[in-house]
Structure 1
Amino acid sequence: MILVSDGGGSPLPSLSRQLSPGDVNMDLTMCGLLVERAEELARLYAEHGNWNDVQDIWFDERLSNRSTRGSSQKIYRVLTSRFKNAPTALPNPSILPAIFDECQTTRDKAQILYLYLVSDDSLVRYVVHEYVARVAQGKQEPLDFSNETLIQILDRLEYSNGGGFDYAESTTERWCEGFRSVMREIGVLDGQQTIVGDPPSIGDVPLLVSMGYSYGVDGDEWLTEPRGLFYLFQPEDRWEEFFDRVASTDAWEYLELHGELDLRPTDGPYSWVQDGGAV
């Protein structure tokens, strides 16, 4: 991860435009966030504590419901990859069911699962970072997710071996539709036909997770580089509002350190889960 400036002094997370070919996958064409399936896997993991048991139960239940094994394997592989490869800054999958129980809407759950997708999928992360830069730079209609704009972004990707993004047009278009479906699930796009979006409203629970993720991944600089808010396309002029919202809960508090006001978790970033909720 490289931090670059948008030209206005505001740092934003970015990726080198060079990725290894093996870093790029097109699984988004079929899977998206799959909130219900992901929640089911998280609950199985919380109950059984290891992925081997979860896998056995998952496939037994799928086959008994006449699902095809190939489809079940793909969904299982994609979703568990997001959980297994999640950074420690995100909640351990074992506590996700308790977090989901605090959520008010499916969108709340989707915004949380979206952070796991971005962390796990290099191509999605690359494209999200490009849109983060567009928002920070104040571009007109920065959240334009038309095929034309998405393909322009993908075409700028260079592999470390010197090659470029090169998939069949139909595959790329399906990927673009899959990416838009994720944007709809997290509230950026409104409606099936909409291609230009706005920063989504963030519920209390996904906000706490986004702030915990930002705090855990960016160290002491997290207040100027709140990764979770970047990834949800929130402009800088709204950050103070979000900081005040979490400080109004029992989970976070403002502290004066070295003459400056700082925002910190009152305990661990996700201690509010064990404490029965903080909102």
Structure 2
Amino acid sequence: MDLTMCGLLIERAEELARLYAEYGNWNDVKDVWFDERRSNRSTRGSAQKIYRVLTARFKNAPGALPNPSILPSILDTCQTTRDKAQVLYLYLIADDSLVQYVVHEYVARMAEGSPESLDFSNETLRDLLGHLEYADGGSFDYADSTVDRWCEGFRSVMRDIGVLDGQRSVAGTPPSIGDIPLLVAMDYSYEDSDNGWLTAPRGLLYLFQPEDRWEEQFDRAAKTDAWEYLDVRGGLTLRPSGDPGSWATDGGTR
């Protein structure tokens, strides 16, 4: 968790994923990354920080998310930068406990039907952070300038994934989801849950999809080669057509 590095840094993340897919180990990726930064006269401190934060997201990614080695092929099939952001956003949540906590709080607000549930103003974010308690009994306590910078970084993520529209907006709406991030979110929901995942699809919840949109998203997934409806004991259920995530290595979806 780094309070000054909450953003997705989409281009840098994609670059690191491509290097990992090419070289297959993080030591070689690190050498190439810093050689390129030096040739571009980037400051070593900045390059180190970006490398540390982004590689941690990939190294700590749960098995329910695509391995970084196949991530470039997934990002290549994304139709927009927003699609890429929605994919990379799931890696951020899995790695950053503070982002995960705040996203969980917003998901709960949406489920309760709270008015202005997607209000990302500094005041609302500060209120959520003020209720955070660490395992050792401590509370969230940082300088105001650091918290303000984190809040802006969090809002930048919300803009990237389509929840916020414009630099000044703080009131969000559930975003539309591209086909590729939908499949990644579906796989994540299925793999990172028990058999009751359809009643709380984590990937869709993290992308702020209200319950009245779930059926639509399930139907979209079932229209691809990656997912299918099955009649099990007289009732329909939705499952991956093959191994979860295999669509990413089988030439995409139709």
- Fold shared by both chains (TM-score > 0.5): yes
- Answering whether residue 252 of structure 2 is matched by residue 242 of structure 1, we say no
| 2:169 paired residue among 167, 186, 194 | 194
Instruction: Report matched runs for 1:86-125 at 5 Å.
Output: 86-125=61-100
Preserved contact between residue 189 and residue 198 of structure 1 (Cα < 8 Å): yes
Match of 2:41 in 1: 66
With over 3 angstroms needed to count, the CA separation of the structure-2 counterparts of 1:96 and 1:199, relative to structure 1, is: same
- Answering whether residue 186 of structure 2 is matched by residue 211 of structure 1, we say yes
For residues 143-174 of structure 1, the C-alpha deviation after alignment (integer angstroms, 9 at most, x for no partner) is 00000000000000112222211000010000
Deviation at 1:55, TM superposition (A): 0.5
- Answering whether residue 16 of structure 2 is matched by residue 56 of structure 1, we say no
For residues 215-245 of structure 1, the C-alpha deviation after alignment (integer angstroms, 9 at most, x for no partner) is 1100311111200001011111110000000
Instruction: Report matched runs for 1:112-151 at 5 Å.
Output: 112-151=87-126
Match of 1:15 in 2: none
Match of 1:4 in 2: none
Partner Cα separation in structure 2 for residue 55 and residue 67 of structure 1: 15
Task: Give the letter aligned to residue 89 of structure 2.
Answer: Y
Moved beyond 4 Å, runs of 4+: none
Deviates more, 1:258-267 or 1:129-138: 258-267
Identity over aligned pairs, percent: 74
With over 3 angstroms needed to count, the CA separation of the structure-2 counterparts of 1:162 and 1:273, relative to structure 1, is: closer
Partner Cα separation in structure 2 for residue 206 and residue 46 of structure 1: 20
Task: Give the letter aligned to residue 189 of structure 1.
Answer: L
Task: Give the letter aligned to residue 79 of structure 1.
Answer: L
Preserved contact between residue 31 and residue 75 of structure 1 (Cα < 8 Å): no
Preserved contact between residue 158 and residue 164 of structure 1 (Cα < 8 Å): yes
Partner Cα separation in structure 1 for residue 35 and residue 108 of structure 2: 44
- How many residues align structurally? 254
Preserved contact between residue 214 and residue 222 of structure 1 (Cα < 8 Å): yes
Match of 1:13 in 2: none
Match of 1:261 in 2: 236
Match of 2:195 in 1: 220
- Answering whether residue 43 of structure 2 is matched by residue 43 of structure 1, we say no
> Unpaired segments of 5 or more residues in structure 1?
1-23
Deviation at 1:31, TM superposition (A): 5.1
